[in-house]
Amino acid sequence: MNSKTFTIFTILFVLFATSIRAYKYIRVTSPGKGPWKKNSGQVVSWDCLDCSPDEDVVVRIIQIKRFPYLEVFRKDAKNARSGQLNFIIGKDWDEKKQYFAEVALKNDPDHHSGDSVKFGIEN
């Protein structure tokens, strides 16, 4: 392999490796599947190895229904690397529906987010 080919190969490899690393995977570890009681306190927990503690996140609880989904809770939080946020299951949330928590980077929510498992609620 001549030096020009090697240089091109090296540049392509570095660009590929950089693009793979650019995606920040946010793992949402709670809440679990429930069912959880209405008006009970729950916690959304997350971690992200490639995120910075200086990055902020948006935490949302989404009711699953026919598109578009219904956002029933939203709050900003600090520390995208690892964190948790308390929330209350609303008294008016529909127990016949499923829900999930979404944690997304505040500065780029469409490309860097993670979802919890689906969970249910009961009276």
| Phi/psi of residue 79, nearest 5 degrees | 65, 85
Residue 73 structural domain: 25-122
CATH number of the domain where residue 39 is located: 2.60.40.10
Task: Look at residue 38 in the predicted model and tell me its pLDDT.
Answer: 96
Considering the domain boundaries, does residue 7 fall inside one?
Answer: no
pLDDT in tens, 6-43: 777 777 766 665 555 567 889 999 999 999 999 999 99
DSSP letter at 51?
S
8 A C-beta contact, residue 109 and residue 78 = no
Confidence grade of residue 63 (pLDDT, cut at 50, 70, 90) = very high
Considering the domain boundaries, does residue 12 fall inside one?
Answer: no
Place of tokens 């080919």: 5
Enclosing H/E stretch for 74: strand 70-77
Give the chain's domain count. Answer: 1
Considering the domain boundaries, does residue 100 fall inside one?
Answer: yes
